[in-house]
Amino acid sequence: MKKVVFDTDIGIDDAMALLFLHYSPDVELQAIVSGFGNADIATTTRNALYMKEYFGIDAPVYCGAAEPVGKRLGSGYPDFVHGHNGLGDIEIDEPTMETETLSGAEAIVEIVKNNPHEISIVAVGRLTNLALALDLCPELPGMVKEVVVMGGTFGHNGHSGNVSPVAEANIAGDPQAADKVFTSNWPVAIVGIDVTHETIARDEFFELLKKTAGKAGDFIYRSSRFYLDFHEQVTGGNECPVHDSSAVAYLLDPSLYETKTAAVRVVTDGIAIGQTIAADPNADFESNAWKDQPTCQICIGVDSEKVLALYAKTLALAVQ
Ligand code: BDR
Ligand code: CA
């Protein structure tokens, strides 16, 4: 059983990932920590509370960061991807539940301290909450079981950035925070565009969930309409990449992924802001930026059919 803290900027694919965690028999969800990203912090936090209430999710919700710790690429929020309400503009009731009193970063520290070496952190938004938690508790890395990040892009499988030619949204939204997380000494797995753009959900997949996953499938089907429309403008197909749920798939079954081990640094300024750069461990560079840095596991290959099958199988448990 995995004890999971889910750090998320709840938009459409984050909500899908949350339901993947919620219905997985192998996960004990300890907390949902919100962050700005797909929408502003008020909206993503409201969405976390909405999901908790609508699906009876037993984990407390903590309000996380409203802005990055450093310079970010761009400004505003991608309402053209996730809708104004972050959930594809489907109708949702205002939640009656409230967030806990601790901040997102404080909650991460508290939960990890109470469960030393047991917590898996799945981070699928900007890495701001984790960077703030590291500031609050520099010993945190030694107490965390693993960190699984959806973010970044390393040029494998012909894929590149989605918010610039070299940057992925979660990293470009707070590059300084990401650099801190990737250079801290804890087991980090990076599930980036190299594999999430290899895992494509077509409309038939959403039709299947609607038939087999009850209320969860119906919610996913409705909220995904907006997301599919956006991606259709980009690729021409009625389909979308599976971003945040890929981090959950890695958590549940890392054997679905091929990885490489390397030190990763993030570009924090200039035209390549948000770029994630992995160093060849055998190379001897003039630059010291990667030298003696901790390494990360970077996903470079995926059995995408099995990832989609695991998602559908897990969501089917929603009706049992
Ligand atoms: C990431 O950015 C957000 O839009 C998604 O929720 C995902 O976490 C993909 O680049
Ligand atoms: Ca996200």
Specify the pLDDT at position 276: 98
Model confidence over 203-227: pLDDT tens digits? 999 999 999 999 999 999 999 999 9
Does residue 320 carry a pLDDT above 90? no
Mean pLDDT of 53-61: 98
Pocket residue to mutate for ligand 1, from 198, 243, 245, 275, most atoms within 8 A of Cβ: 243
Active-site residue, selected from the candidate residues 9, 174, 179, 194: 9
Q: What angle do CA 209, 214, 216 make, to 5 degrees?
A: 70
Structure confidence by residue, pLDDT tens digits, 137-183: 999 999 999 999 999 999 999 999 999 999 999 999 999 999 999 99
Task: For residues 70 and 242, give the distance between their C-alpha atoms in angstroms, rounded to a whole number.
Answer: 28
Query: How close is the Cα of 184 to the center of ligand 1, in Å?
Result: 22
For the entire predicted model, the pTM comes to 0.98
Q: If you average pLDDT over residues 287-294, what whole number do you get?
A: 96
Known active-site residue 243: yes
Is the CATH number of domain 2-319 3.90.245.10? yes
Q: How far apart (Å, rounded) are the C-alpha atoms in residues 97 and 293?
A: 42
Check residues 59 and 282 and name the one with the higher pLDDT: 59
Q: Indicate the range of 20-29, 199-208, 218-227, 278-287 predicted with least confidence.
A: 278-287
The answer, yes or no, to whether any atom of ligand 1 lies below 6 A from the CB of 243, is yes
* pLDDT at position 170: 98
Residue 130: what are its φ and ψ, rounded to 5°?
Answer: -70, -40
Per-residue pLDDT tens digits for 124-140: 999 999 999 999 999 99
| Ion ligand 2 neighbours, Cβ < 5 Å | 9, 14, 124-125, 244
When the pLDDT of each residue in the chain is averaged and rounded to a whole number, the result is 97
Closest CA to 224 of 116, 119, 131, 311: 311
C-alpha dist (Å) from residue 275 to 180, 243, 265, 268, 272: 14, 17, 8, 8, 6
Alpha-carbon distance values, 69 to 36, 125, 152, 183, 186 (Å): 12, 14, 18, 16, 20
Q: How many CB atoms lie within 10 A of CB 13?
A: 27
Tokens of 50: 């909405």
Estimate to the nearest angstrom the gap between the alpha carbon of 25 and the chain centroid: 20
Say what percent of the chain tops pLDDT 70. Answer: 100
CA–CA gap between residue 179 and residue 23 (Å, rounded): 32
Boundaries of every domain in the chain: 2-319
For the record, the structure tokens of 152 come out as 């970044």
More confident residue, 320 or 45: 45
Ligand 1 pocket test, pick from 14, 154, 200 with the greatest ligand atom count within 8 Å of Cβ, gives 14
280 is catalytic: no
Evaluate: CB of 27 within 6 angstroms of ligand 1: no
Amino acid code (one letter) for 43 = T
| 11 C-beta closer than 6 A to ligand 1 | yes
